[in-house]
Amino acid sequence: MPDINAATIFTVARTGSRVVRYLIRPAQRLPNSSISLMKGGRDPWLPAPTGSAADTASRARRAGSRVRRMLGLVALLILGLLGALLIGPLLLLLGIGTASGSDVAGILLALTLAVAAFGTYWTARRARQILHAPEDTLPPTTLDMAGAAAHDEAALLATLRLHERTLPAPARAALHATAIATRDALRVTAHDQALGRDTYDAQQAARRDLPDLLSTYRAAPPTAAADLELLMQLGHIERRMRAVSTERAGQGQRKLEAHGRYLKDKYSLSEDLKEPK
C-alpha cells in the first residue's frame, strides 16, 4: 500500500473543508449599486440576450444552482449527524456523572448542552439560507456610479431586467428605449442642487412610474388592448425623459457659448490695454 504521510492527510482535509464551506455557504447576489463595471465586462444597459442559446444558458445556471443547494443540504445533514454522534455519547456520560453528584460533570454537561443548542440553531439557520437563496437567471450586472443617482439608476436597471423577458417584442423594445431615456435624464439631472421639475420627473419615472406601470400591466389580462395601452404609456414617459435630456443639452451649450464670449471679451480687453500708445 502507498505511504500516506501527515502532509497528504492535512491537504486532503483542508480541501474537503473548503468544499464543504463552499457548499453550505448560500450564494449571495451583490446589489447592483455597490459594484462597478469591470473592464471588458458586458454593458448592463444592452438588451438582454434572447433565443435558444440564452434560454439554454439560463436553464444551465438554474440547474447548477439547484444542484449546489442539494449538495449543501446533504453536507449540512452529514455534519449534523456527525455532531449528534459526537455529542450524544458525551451527553450520556456527563449525565451519568452529574447524577452521581459530580459538580465538574454538571458544568461540562451545561456547556455541552449550550454547544449542542448553538449547533442546532446554526444548522437550521444555514439550511434556511440555502433554501431561500435567490436564483440568478442572468449574470450580475454592474454600474459605475455612486450616491443617490446610482441608487435610482440601479433600481431602473433592475426594473428593466425584471420585466423585459416577459414582454412581447414591441413592448420589450419600447421598454428598453424608455429605460435608456430615463437613465439619460437621471444622469443629466444628477448634479442639480435643488429638486426642480426635471429632476423630480426623472426620479419619479425610475422609482415609481415605470415599476408601477409594468406591475399593473402584468396584473391585467393579456390582451391586444393592454399591449397597446402599455406602448402608449411607455411613449409618454420616454418623450418626457427625452425632453429633459434635450433641454439640459441646450442649457449646457448656451452656458458654454456664454463662457466663450466672456473669455473673448476679457482677453480682448487685456490685449487692448497692452497696446502702446
The answer to whether residue 241 scores a pLDDT higher than 80 is: yes
Query: What would the grid cell of residue 120 be?
Result: 442546532
Q: What is the pLDDT of residue 33?
A: 40
Out of 130-139, 204-213, 242-251, least confident range: 130-139
pLDDT digit string, tens, across residues 82-96: 888 888 888 888 889
The answer to whether residue 194 scores a pLDDT higher than 60 is: yes
pLDDT band at 36 (very low <50, low <70, confident <90, very high): very low
The answer to whether residue 128 scores a pLDDT higher than 90 is: no
Rounded to an integer, the average pLDDT of 104-112 is 87
pLDDT band at 34 (very low <50, low <70, confident <90, very high): very low
Instruction: Using alpha carbons, select from 47, 52, 35, 5 the residue that is nearest to residue 160.
Output: 47
Instruction: Using alpha carbons, select from 121, 107, 112, 70 the residue that is nearest to residue 92.
Output: 112
Query: What would the grid cell of residue 223 be?
Result: 390582451
The model carries a pTM of 0.49
- pLDDT: which is higher, 39 or 270: 270
pLDDT band at 9 (very low <50, low <70, confident <90, very high): low
- pLDDT: which is higher, 94 or 29: 94
The proportion of the chain whose per-residue pLDDT surpasses 70, expressed as a percent, equals 70
Q: Phi first, then psi: what are they for 83, rounded to 5°?
A: -60, -40
Q: What is the pLDDT of residue 212?
A: 93
pLDDT digit string, tens, across residues 195-217: 888 889 898 999 999 999 999 99
Q: What is the pLDDT of residue 141?
A: 43
Three-state DSSP class for 121?
helix
The answer to whether residue 169 scores a pLDDT higher than 80 is: yes
Query: What would the grid cell of residue 92 be?
Result: 450520556
